[in-house]
Amino acid sequence: MEDLETPLRFANGLFTVLLAILLCNIYRKKAKRFYLLWSLGYLFYGLNLFVRIFVVPPGMYPLVFLVVGFAMILTGLGDLINRTRDMALVSILLPVVMILLMLTPNPTIIVWLISILPYLLTAISLLFIKRSGVVDVDMLIIGWFILLLINLALAYGLMTPPFVEIMAIFGKLVIYCGMVKPQFSLMAEDLKQFLISGNPTSYATDDATNKFILLSAPTNQKRSETEWIAARIEDNAARAIRTIIVSVYDTITIADLQGKKINEENVYIVHMVTGGLTNINVFEERILSINDDVNLLDILFADIIKYSGEKKIKCEIIIYSLSHLIHTHGSKRVYSFLISKIPVIKSGIVSLVGVYYPETHEKTSETSIFESLADQVVEV
């Protein structure tokens, strides 16, 4: 069995690099930074395994690659819960802690702690994410605890190296399955049924030049903007374009639109509120509640765009309002979100409308930046 250690470690390294390539491909499709960071993390993780095989003596190279890889993975976890900076700081502290461990006079303790510390930090971080309820990470937790336990077993001499390599491949496979399965989705049957239930009375024409519209509205004049939205909903419905409104902090409700005599069957409202339900789907009368988290909004957009493309259903997402989102999460975060979504929107059959209030933004440069992203700015 010992003769199999090197070929199995090579297989483990090859599988790890393959996962890095697959995650990079997912990033290219979804433009979600989490996948890019984990792709880089897995790449360095795989290089760590190859160095241990081909470089004799390996020196510090395996440790360097391992630390860099886990720094990327931990930062990626931070991106899932909008705590990228915090997790990046933790990842920076990781090599510092390891250097301090090297000063410990007992070499056994050094080897033991270094072998489990990155896995322990990753597993604890995933438990924190699960508790926060942002995304369902159960399979990721299972996979990383498998890696943690086999490294503990190896440190204590309870498991042979060849078996460790086999179990490591299995654990990484579980993690990968956890990242690509539908738990990262906010789409439910109710929303899917809404998207496919359009009944056109006229034909929609492709308008590739107006995929992202900014609706510039004065403050304290909600009537004019709701009238514009109501007319937009009915016009979209006539052409079998489904309208989904993302109501940030409940700033627009179905009651606001009922007074405009719209057909409620033609609109779906997603309430984005603090403490909203996230990884369980709660739909009541075409209303979904999600937590106030741009990452969740990112996931929702990705799901709608993907489903719309698969079923060839045109739809329009209206963010009401973009200004509220900017004031809460910062212009950089919202700009980054839009930058990642606009290319996908323009290449597909989904359009986007963002309601914003220029008067509420102190910096004119801020409004100019977002207006430069839009295909059209409409004033009401």
Written as one letter, the residue type at 317 is I
34 phi and psi, to 5 degrees? Answer: -55, -45
Render pLDDT for 213-255 as a digit per residue (tens, 0 to 9).
999 988 777 888 888 999 999 898 888 888 999 999 888 888 8
Are residues 204 and 110 both part of a single domain? no
Euclidean distance between the first and final Cα of the chain, in Å?
75
Nearest partner of 299 among 41, 113, 32, 53, judged by Cα: 32
Number of domains in the chain: 2
Report which of 222, 170, 176, 172 is spatially closest to residue 25, judged by C-alpha positions: 176
* Domain end residue (candidates: 158, 182, 206): 182
Q: Any idea what the CATH number is for the domain that residue 301 is in?
A: 3.40.50.300
Q: Which of 152, 182, 212 is the last residue of a domain?
A: 182
Same domain, 217 and 147: no
Residues 219, 90: one domain? no
Assess whether 98 and 177 both reside in one domain.
yes
Nearest C-alpha neighbor of 347 from the set 29, 21, 27: 29
- Return the pLDDT at 313: 85
In whole angstroms, give the CA distance from residue 64 to residue 55.
14
Rounded Cα distance, 107 and 92, in Å: 23
Q: What is the pLDDT of residues 327-362, one digit of tens each?
A: 999 999 999 999 988 888 888 889 999 999 998 888
Among the candidates 151, 182, 213, a domain finishes at 182
> What per-residue confidence (pLDDT) applies to 279?
40
**Which strand ranges, in their side-by-side order, compose the sheet holding 242-248?**
287-291, 267-273, 242-248, 315-320, 350-356, 212-216, 376-379
With a CB cutoff of 8 Å and minimum separation 6, the contacts of 170 are 146
Domain span at residue 177? 2-182
Do 141 and 241 lie in one domain? The reply is: no
User: Residue 280's pLDDT is what?
Assistant: 34
Query: In this structure, what token pair is assigned to residue 221?
Result: 């004049």
Q: Which residues of the chain have pLDDT under 50?
A: 182-183, 186-188, 203, 277-285
Q: What angle do CA 216, 222, 223 make, to 5 degrees?
A: 110
Residues 207 and 355 in one domain: yes
Asked if residue 204 and residue 250 are part of one domain, the reply reads yes
What long-range pairs does 123-126 form, CB within 8 A, spacing at least 24?
Answer: 123/148, 125/74, 125/77, 125/87, 125/90, 126/77
**3-state class (DSSP) for residue 376:** strand
Residue 268 shares a structural domain with residue 350: yes
Whether residue 206 is found in the same domain as residue 275: yes
